[in-house]
Amino acid sequence: MKTEMVDGTQLYFANGIVIWEDKGFTVEMYAMDDFDADTLKRIVKSFGVGKAMKQEQINQSQSNVDNLIQTQRAVPAPAARQ
């Protein structure tokens, strides 16, 4: 494994993957062999983590998923008309 510091962020290179941490999240990116330090710097800086969701938003999202699952259940095909 190779490591490199790019603009204050520690990057780890292993098996064609670049790994770094941002605000408690581990980010993994498949990398091109020819990414230079400037390109990696722009990629790392462009990565963003938004604010945590409020409980109300989490509940609404879960409700949306539950409703979607209910509407997409498999049902028997209608009988063929003759």
Total tally of structural domains belonging to the chain: 1
Distance of CA 1 to the CA centre of its chain: 23
Residue 21 lies in a domain: yes
Q: What is the pLDDT of residue 66?
A: 84
Q: What is the pLDDT of residue 74?
A: 66
The overall pTM is greater than 0.85? no
Residue 4 lies in a domain: yes
Q: Whole-angstrom Cα distance, residue 63 to residue 13? A: 40
Give CA separation, 31 vs 4, 7, 8, 51, 57, in Å.
14, 18, 19, 27, 34
Domain that residue 6 falls in = 1-47
Residue 75 lies in a domain: no
Residue 26 lies in a domain: yes
Residue 53 lies in a domain: no
**Joined tokens for residue 82:** 């003759």
Give CA separation, 50 vs 23, 29, 62, 82, in Å.
10, 19, 19, 57
User: How do residues 1-45 score in pLDDT, each as one tens digit?
Assistant: 889 998 899 999 988 899 999 888 899 999 776 788 888 899 888
Residue 39 lies in a domain: yes
Residue 3 lies in a domain: yes
